[in-house]
Amino acid sequence: MRFTKDHEWVEVAGDIATIGITSYAAEQLGDVVFVDLPPAGKAVKAGEELAVVESVKAASDVYAPVSGEVVEANSEVAEAPETVNATPEGGGWFVKLKLSNPSEVDALMDRPAYEAFLATL
């Protein structure tokens, strides 16, 4: 699993990247009440807005950590947003992307680097 400074995670299997928000992000947001996910087929570039996650308090943007085309949005988080808080780095994933530039993944942090980054916050 790889991570961004905006607290997204990416897990790659073949040319498909599963993307979600980290446990840290989920805890900071608090109770998630709505997730606005992109439709399948949408093309996104790394750094662009991918989804919006709404807690009781506020709406927060989720950025695409890598470029690609959305192949699946997680209907479970759309129907049961609390899944994001329960298992942010598992069942609470947001979308699966077909990678258009797999080398972008290499630029992201690995877990020790992300944890070191969290320690600076």
Partner 1 sequence: MSDEALNTTPLTQAHIALGGRMVPFGGYSMPVQYPEGILKEHLWTRQNAGAFDVSHMGPSFLELNAKSGDGEADHRAIAAIAETLVCGDIRGLKPGQLRYTLMLNEAGGVIDDLMIGRPLQPGRQGMLYVIVNAGTKDGDFALIEKAAGEKARLIRADDRALIAIQGPKAAEVVGAIIPGALDLGFMQFRRIDLDGAGLVVSRSGYTGEDGFEILVPAIGGAAFWDRLLADERVKPIGLGARDSLRLEAGLPLYGHDLDATTSPAEASLAFAVSKRRLRDQDFPGAARVARELGGEITRRRIGLKVLGGPPAREGAEIANAAGEVVGTVTSGGFGPSVGGPIAMGYARPAYAEVGTQMKVIVRGKPGDAEVVAMPFAPHRYFRKAQT
Parallel/antiparallel/unpaired status of strands 43-44 and 32-36: unpaired
- Burial zone of 48 (CB within 10 Å; 0-12 exposed, 13-18 middle, 19+ buried): exposed
Binders of partner 1 among 29-48, rule CB under 8 A?
30-31, 33-34, 36
Quick one: 15 or 82, whose CB is closer to partner 1?
82
Considering only residues 11-30, where is the footprint of partner 1 by CB under 8 A?
30
Considering the complex, what minimum distance in angstroms separates the CB of residue 30 from partner 1? 5
Could you give the CA distance from residue 48 to residue 2 in angstroms, rounded to a whole number? 17
Alpha carbon 91 to its chain centroid, in Å, reads 12
Minimal distance in Å, beta carbon 27 to partner 1? 9
Write the binding mask 49 to 78 for partner 1: x where contact by CB under 8 A, - elsewhere: ---x-xxxxxx-------------------
In whole angstroms, give the CA distance from residue 109 to residue 104.
Answer: 11
- Which residues of this chain interact with partner 1, rule CB under 8 A? 30-31, 33-34, 36, 52, 54-59
